[in-house]
Chains A and B, each alone.
Chain A
Amino acid sequence: MSRTVPKDDSSDRQSTSAAPARLEQIVLAHGGGGELTDELIRSQILPRLGNEILNRLTDAATLELGGVRVAMTTDSYVVQPLFFPGGDIGRLAVCGTVNDLAMAGAEPVAISLALVLEEGLDGRTLERVLESIAAAAAEAKVQVVTGDTKVVEHGKAEGMYITTTGLGRLIDGVSLGHDQVRAGDVVLINGSIAEHGLAVLSQRKGLSFASDLLSDVAPLAELANDLVRRFDGVRLLRDPTRSGLSGVVADLAGSSGLSVEIDEKAVPLAPPARAAAELLGFDPLDVANEGKFVAVLAAQQADAALDLCRQHRFGGQAAIIGRVTDRQPPMAELLTVIGGRRIIQKPYGEELPRIC
């Protein structure tokens, strides 16, 4: 399950004893990656399927197979439109899965590809998506090794849905997780935020607005793998996808028992993304990214890690954006551009453009 939710003392118990809470009805926001998604996982999935590995709710599960430590992850892609500025559903499916492996500290080895196609889908559209998958897989240095194809009746899917599962080899000696984070660590991001979510939204039916924004969708394994190989002070890697930087930072404070302070001035944000977020009434910190990772690492390795990122094509704008402190109670806070302070909260779910 490609979600991380704050640890909760009750989750282990829930999985064995407590009866699952009743779920009235699924709404779109249950799939938004925010608080409502967490609640769905906690109240419905863990009580029935929970086990020692699943209960960790990390981006990728880590297992041991005959003495080899591997990482496994799966994701479904239902993005609309299928093609958006800077990417498409195929590239997204490959990158998303590869990135989840990389966030666990694993080198991607292979992925599966399951296609759910809608009757009537234009052949050229499928060709374009498959070509994009091939290109992204080559770029990410993974092979598609197994797959599945299903077709549903016209009207039962929007063009196509894709599910990818990834398998990776954990890098020796690497141990990442919220429990590794220490006070004094710094928070690094490999570039500017909010571009994927806004680029997709700019093309969505009924919402179209003129914008130069491109999705940042990119395979991050090469850079992220390099980072953990070179720096033993890397404690945690997370990709700020659906609930944005806010989600990652709020989880970090919630799960590590430590406080996090993000310096708004230091967070890279391109002017077109700032403008689009303002237009829609979104907090850029809440908006999805698909080519970014957040690394928490030892402060003394920060400069060298930053140099490494900046030499990579997906890390040119990398920046140190915050630090971990032992302030209690644990809280994620933003030091704003004007020198004010406010808390950073995980978004609720689906982003709703405001009225005016």
Chain B
Amino acid sequence: MTEPLKDCLDRLRAAAQAVAGTIRIMEVCGTHTVAIFRHGIRSLLPANLKLISGPGCPVCVTSQGFIEAAVQLAGQQGMIMATYGDMMRVPGANGNLERARANGARVEVVLSARDALKLAQHNPDAEVVFLAVGFETTAPATAEVVLSAHRNQVRNFSVLAAHKRIVPAMLALLADEQVAIDAFLCPGHVSVIVGSDAYRPVVASFAKGCVVAGFEPVQIMCALAELAEMMAQRRPALDNTYKVVVTGQGNRRAQEMIEQVFEPGPATWRGLGRIDHSGLHLKRAYRDWDAFERFGLSPGAEVEIPGCRCGDVIRGVIDPPQCPLFGAACTPAQPVGPCMVSSEGTCQAWWKYQRVSA
């Protein structure tokens, strides 16, 4: 263990000891969740510190109705569906994109929105639809391709968008009486775009500590130490420990791009339900590139998956092993709920790195 890491771990242990009862810290972002598991950070934490994996895995919170619309669309003649890889296996009410591909649909995995637009330009005879999901991290890239498609009048390209905003979801969680969270480890990537000031309402309205951190083990450990110290001193505050890339204001240019193309509106989160202002919807001016408009689609209804407690996992009400399906009916090979599908999903991270309860 390096010196800085050991220092932070010592600070964390001292602060946790000074707190009577359990400290419940939510790591909001799926990349943090995986980093925490992959580096074995949980195995080093004090017994009274509980990490809760939050709603920051974009795949996990994408509504079933949206997947349903995507699967339906993928099956249409002359269609190429371009998607981020981990959307492939997310179950809708009737199958998923992986099955659609096995049944002959053209579904292409892309790494970026720009690659999806290129796909449209290279296949002028096909309709290319980009499955635009993710938080403020990926929304600017979607905005950019919509603007580019608009500028160059690329007519065989559109986006099926389900972008979401993270702060309204955090506020909604805190307003939920079933959910007990003492502090937040705030996402690194999202914060590059929205800026650390975006979390001020969390501190101001709910008196919960917020620390923005990077993804290295030492950065995570030090942020946890700081949050525990805030708890011990009963002084919740906002801090940004990822100043190399995150500023208070965030990336103004990316924000402007989002504002130019999208407007905030209600969105349905799997597990959390409908949350006002938490979605990003394409503005009317770009409706020609809006796949919902273009193909006359509406997101299907939310259907409860029997037995699946993904919603409770995302809200931190239970840990994955407490779900009756976990590891039995629901595994990465046969996922029932979305939390088991994504490599950043809480259930998959538990299954992969920590089969037994912590």
Interface positions of A (Cβ within 8 A of B) = 25-29, 34-36, 39, 205-209, 280-283, 334-343, 345, 348-349, 351-356
Contact = CB atoms under 8 A, between A and B. Distances in A.
Contacts of A345: 351-353, 355
B102 A25 contact: yes
A343 B44 contact: no
Contacts of B303: none
Contact of A354 (B86, B108, B351): B86
B342 A336 contact: no
B133 interface: yes
Contacts of B133: 355
Contact of B40 (A34, A280, A341): A341
Contact of B44 (A34, A35, A340): A340
B88 interface: yes
Interface in B334-353: 342-344, 351-353
Given A340-B217, A348-B332, 9 more contacts: A25-B99, A25-B103, A28-B101, A29-B98, A34-B333, A281-B34, A282-B343, A355-B85, A356-B138
A336 B353 contact: no
B236 interface: no
Contacts, number: 127
A342 B353 contact: yes
A85 B40 CA distance: 33
Interface stretch (B109-117, B176-184, B252-260): B109-117
Contacts of A349: 333
Given A25-B102, A338-B41, A355-B133, A206 B119 contact: yes
B89 A352 contact: yes
Given A28-B101, A35-B333, A352-B85, A337 B353 contact: no
B38 A354 contact: no
Contact of A340 (B43, B58, B111, B218): B43
B88 A336 contact: no
Given A352-B109, A354-B343, A27 B98 contact: yes
Nearest to A333: B40
B1 interface: yes
Contact of B108 (A26, A206, A341): A206
A206 B353 contact: no
B76 to A, nearest CB: 20
Contact of B84 (A27, A336, A337, A354): A354
A352 B332 CA distance: 12
Interface of B: 1-2, 5, 31, 34, 37-44, 58-59, 82, 84-89, 98-99, 101-103, 108-111, 115, 119, 133-135, 137-138, 189, 217-218, 221, 331-333, 342-344, 351-355
A356 B40 contact: no
Contacts of B41: 338, 340
A282 B354 CA distance: 17
B111 A206 contact: yes
A281 B102 contact: no
Contacts of B108: 205-206
Contacts of B355: 343, 345
A352 B97 CA distance: 13
Nearest 6 Cβ contacts at the A-B interface: A340-B40, A352-B85, A336-B40, A348-B332, A353-B85, A342-B40
Given A27-B99, A27-B102, A355 B58 contact: yes
A206 to B, nearest CB: 5
Given A348-B332, A348-B333, A356 B31 contact: yes
A206 B352 contact: no
Given A27-B98, A281-B343, A348-B333, A338 B44 contact: yes
Given A26-B102, A353-B109, A356-B189, A339 B1 contact: yes
Contacts of A340: 39-44, 217
Contacts of A280: 111
Contact of A281 (B40, B138, B344): B344
A282 B331 CA distance: 18
A268 B333 CA distance: 29
Nearest to A204: B109
A37 to B, nearest CB: 10
A355 B332 CA distance: 17
29 contacts: A27-B99, A27-B101, A28-B101, A34-B333, A35-B331, A205-B108, A206-B109, A206-B110, A207-B109, A208-B115, A281-B34, A282-B343, A336-B217, A338-B1, A340-B39, A342-B353, A348-B333, A351-B85, A352-B86, A353-B85, A354-B84, A354-B86, A355-B59, A355-B134, A355-B344, A356-B31, A356-B58, A356-B134, A356-B138
B40 A334 contact: yes
Nearest to B59: A355
Given A206-B110, A206-B115, A336-B40, A354 B333 contact: no
A254 to B, nearest CB: 13
A115 to B, nearest CB: 26
Contacts of B31: 281, 356
Given A338-B41, A355-B84, A343 B102 contact: no
Nearest to A338: B217
A206 B82 contact: yes
Contacts of A353: 84-86, 109, 111
Nearest to B5: A338
Nearest to A335: B40
Contacts of A339: 1, 40, 44
A334 B39 CA distance: 9
A284 to B, nearest CB: 10
Given A339-B1, A348-B333, A355 B86 contact: yes
Contacts of B110: 206-207
Contacts of A282: 343
Contacts of B88: 352
Contact of A336 (B39, B102, B119, B135): B39
Contacts of B189: 356
